[in-house]
Amino acid sequence: MVNTLVWVLAGLALYSLVAMGLRARGLLPDSVRVQGPITTIHTQRGKAFLDWLAGPKRFWRAWGNLGIGIALVIMVGSFLAVLFSAYTTLTQPTASAITEPRNVLVIPGVNDFLPLSAAPEIVLGLLIGLVVHEGGHGLLCRVEDIDIDSMGLALITLLPVGAFVEPDEESRQKADRGGQTRMFAAGVTNNFAVALIAFALLFGPVVGSIAVVSGAPVGNVADGSAAANAGIQSGDVITQINGVDVTRAGDLPAVLANESRTVEVTLKDGEQKTVERSLIITGAVPRVVDGIDLSGDAPPTIQSVNGTEVHTRSELRDALQNRTVATLQTDKGSATFAAGALVQVSADGPLAAAGAPAEETMVITAVNGTRTVDQEALQVALANTEADQRVTIEGVLDGETVSYDVTLDENPRTGGGLLGVFTQPGISGVTVDDFGVDPYPAEQYLAALGGDGEDGFGAVSFIQRIGVILFLPFASVLSPGLNYNFAGFVDMVTNFYEIRGPLAFMGGSLFTVANVLFWGGWVNLQLGFFNCIPAFPLDGGHILRTSTEAIVSRLPIRDGREVTRAITTSITLTMLAGLVLMIFGPQLLA
């Protein structure tokens, strides 16, 4: 099947051929210019409006000076960030979805983190961002008495992506250095102003009128799981299980912990589903279960352990409580392995100091005689210890039973005992699920935006929330434990929220407003940061040149222009090399 990117590229190529053919035949008006898939429409209209708007020149010059300060700080920060990222790519290349070249493009449906469902809001935010950006340049041109050759719209094929202002080059060069710098900084200043306004509205009255519905929101249902077989789908909200109320996602594990194999599930709309629970393997270290086929869409279903039929996680744990060896029989084969907490021994930890081979993996089966069936049991056992306590660790290493007397260090996170291991989740790295529902973190995302709920991001101030928002579209990659990116209140996500409070009269349209503010602020912030990169032809490159000229002009140097050119060219090439390495390096070097 041809992917979306191929269709997009084919469409751009076809448009370019047709548009350039029309231009060659003289069929396009003089105001329309074509360069590949990029079309620009030029006009002289709007200059009178800019002249009127530029009236309070002292105010706009102060606004421009503010922008220069902001831009310079971000330019230094972006230069250091790019250098650090490039160095990290060279020394520790790690490929991830974020570093895929296609994810640099702000094209919904092509960029994995920008869904098509959010395309209208993203495109609107991009259009607003480019209009205010170029409008800022045009306005400061008139404030600084710089003539404008033309203004207009820029389009990719027939899709408007923003506006542009073309200063008269001769007039610009006649302007003083401060005036030029203010003009170049005006665009990013406007972008940041739009972002701040959008986020202030989003964090305040808009999110204040949105609440999480009562129940456990279903983000995903595992293929072949008990929930999938019962007809539970993504977007459903579970409100009861066997008559017990479920008010939030965190209630699910406790409600399901001691329930029987058959459970009655009630959804938000009142529909009831009968779920016959069965154990599926959701993840495993391949070498542990090398006799079980993990390929295919449907996960293996566990039929028995050591000959005992099991259907729930509690039944599986009970069956292994007094057994350190597990023989799993599934519908896709069987495997026998030591059952416990699978760990890797840290080279400088207490367990290695007690004689365990460093950097090797072993299965811990007991701590001070207490059985550790899985990672969770090991964590509970260690939570009841303290620093300098001597414990006996029993386990299996390379098929042999081993035992170590370990003096624990202090765990800086919990204050309890530290063993010095890296753990794998589940039973010997095998994770299972007897229900099959992965809850959507509706509370965390709403709290991150300033609403009520449990905030797992630690955002408390306005600036911190803005920082969190920058990363929400990539949450599943950047935040361990989160399986979903936040793209706004789109698609099924609206099922997990309700409108109430001061803006309740807007009904479902408030979600659209929230999405416009979310993506409008996000895009403008990204545009501002991107244009502050100190490299030509970006605004940051022009500000770099004028700022360098201002410094060099004060030095006892004979040819200041050549020195300025050498400095700006070196920084620009360094930035471009760093950006190329950041984008393409992980795939080439990893």
For 76-122, write each residue's pLDDT tens digit: 998 888 888 888 878 777 766 666 766 666 777 677 778 888 888 98
Q: What are the residues whose beta carbons fall under 8 Å from the beta carbon of 356, sequence distance 6 or more?
A: 345, 362, 393, 397, 402, 404
Work out the pLDDT band at 147, boundaries 50, 70, 90: confident
Q: Does residue 31 share a domain with residue 42?
A: no
Q: Does residue 140 share a domain with residue 54?
A: yes
Locus of tokens 């209140």: 489
pLDDT of amino acid 456: 61
Q: Is 366 contained in some domain?
A: yes
Q: Could you tell me where the DSSP H helices lie in 354-492?
A: 375-383, 442-448, 462-471, 475-478
Work out the pLDDT band at 138, boundaries 50, 70, 90: confident
pLDDT of amino acid 198: 95
Q: Name the residue with higher pLDDT: 581 or 344.
A: 344
**Cβ-based burial of 195 (10 A; exposed 0-12, middle 13-18, buried ≥19):** buried
Mean pLDDT along residues 343-349:
92
Question: What's the distance, CA 145 to chain centroid?
Answer: 43
Mean pLDDT along residues 147-163:
71
> Is 32 strand, coil or helix?
strand
What is the tens place of the pLDDT at every residue in 277-314?
Answer: 999 999 998 888 888 998 887 899 999 999 999 999 98
Q: Is 130 contained in some domain?
A: yes
Q: Is 161 contained in some domain?
A: yes
pLDDT of amino acid 166: 75
Closest-CA residue to 101 (of 1, 3, 5): 5
Q: Does residue 56 share a domain with residue 26?
A: no
Q: Does residue 175 share a domain with residue 49?
A: yes
What is the tens place of the pLDDT at every residue in 203-236?
Answer: 989 999 999 999 999 999 988 899 999 999 999 9
pLDDT of amino acid 588: 66
Mean pLDDT along residues 185-191:
92
Closest-CA residue to 179 (of 150, 151, 142): 142
pLDDT of amino acid 171: 83
Any idea what DSSP says for residue 355? T
Question: Final residue of a domain: which of 262, 277, 292?
Answer: 277
Any idea what DSSP says for residue 369? T
Q: Where are the strands (E) in 368-454, listed by range?
A: 370-371, 390-397, 400-407, 409-410, 417-418, 421-423, 431-433, 437-439
Q: Is 534 contained in some domain?
A: yes
pLDDT of amino acid 309: 93
Work out the pLDDT band at 1, boundaries 50, 70, 90: very low
pLDDT of amino acid 159: 66
CB 194 within 8 A of CB 524: yes
pLDDT of amino acid 3: 59
What is the tens place of the pLDDT at every residue in 494-531?
Answer: 999 999 888 888 888 999 999 999 999 999 998 898 88
CATH number (domain holding residue 346)? 2.30.42.10
CB 206 within 8 A of CB 509: no
Q: Does residue 10 share a domain with residue 85?
A: no
Mean pLDDT along residues 318-344:
93
**Cβ-based burial of 476 (10 A; exposed 0-12, middle 13-18, buried ≥19):** middle
Q: Where are the strands (E) in 172-294, listed by range?
A: 210-212, 216-221, 237-241, 244-245, 262-267, 272-276, 279-283
Question: What's the distance, CA 1 to chain centroid?
Answer: 27
Q: Does residue 99 share a domain with residue 233?
A: no
CB 572 within 8 A of CB 535: yes
Question: How many percent of the chain have pLDDT more than 70?
Answer: 93
Q: Does residue 245 share a domain with residue 190?
A: no
The whole-angstrom separation of Cα 430 and Cα 339 is: 9
The whole-angstrom separation of Cα 47 and Cα 147 is: 10
Element holding 227 (H helix, E strand): helix 226-230
Q: What are the residues whose beta carbons fall under 8 Å from the beta carbon of 404, sequence distance 6 or more?
A: 351, 354, 355, 356, 392, 393
Locus of tokens 């203004």: 151
Domain total of the chain: 4
Q: Does residue 107 share a domain with residue 32?
A: no
Q: Is 389 contained in some domain?
A: yes
The whole-angstrom separation of Cα 582 and Cα 580 is: 5
Q: Is 446 contained in some domain?
A: no
Q: Does residue 135 share a domain with residue 67?
A: yes
CB atoms within 10 A of CB 327: 15
Q: Does residue 64 share a domain with residue 192?
A: yes
Cis amide prior to 537 (ω within 30 degrees): yes
Locus of tokens 């994810």: 103
Any idea what DSSP says for residue 424? P
pLDDT of amino acid 402: 95
The whole-angstrom separation of Cα 261 and Cα 246 is: 18
Name the strands in the sheet holding 159-167, side by side, starting at the edge strand that comes first in the sequence: 32-35, 38-43, 148-156, 159-167
Q: Which of 363-367, 533-537, 554-558, 571-575 has the highest mean pLDDT?
A: 363-367
The pLDDT of residue 328 is above 80:
yes
What is the tens place of the pLDDT at every residue in 239-280?
Answer: 999 989 999 988 888 888 866 889 999 999 899 999 999 999
Q: Is 97 contained in some domain?
A: yes
The pLDDT of residue 378 is above 60:
yes
Question: What's the distance, CA 187 to chain centroid?
Answer: 26
> CA angle at residue 557 from 552 to 563, to 5 degrees?
55
Q: Is 369 contained in some domain?
A: yes
The whole-angstrom separation of Cα 526 and Cα 530 is: 6
Question: Final residue of a domain: which of 398, 413, 429?
Answer: 429
Question: What's the distance, CA 101 to chain centroid?
Answer: 16
pLDDT of amino acid 554: 83
Bridge partners of residue 273, in order along the sequence: 265
The whole-angstrom separation of Cα 582 and Cα 397 is: 40
Any idea what DSSP says for residue 292? B
Question: What's the distance, CA 208 to chain centroid?
Answer: 23
Neighbour-count burial for 266-288, b at 16+ CB within 10 Å, e otherwise: bbbeeeebebebbbbbbebbeeb
Question: Final residue of a domain: which of 401, 429, 457?
Answer: 429
Q: Does residue 55 share a domain with residue 29?
A: no
Give the domain extent around 2. Answer: 1-36
The pLDDT of residue 587 is above 70:
no
pLDDT of amino acid 226: 92
The pLDDT of residue 458 is above 80:
no
Q: Does residue 163 share a domain with residue 105?
A: yes
CB 292 within 8 A of CB 283: no
Closest-CA residue to 467 (of 535, 405, 399, 525): 525
Record the tokens describing residue 306, joined without a space.
């050591």
pLDDT of amino acid 424: 92
The pLDDT of residue 459 is above 70:
no
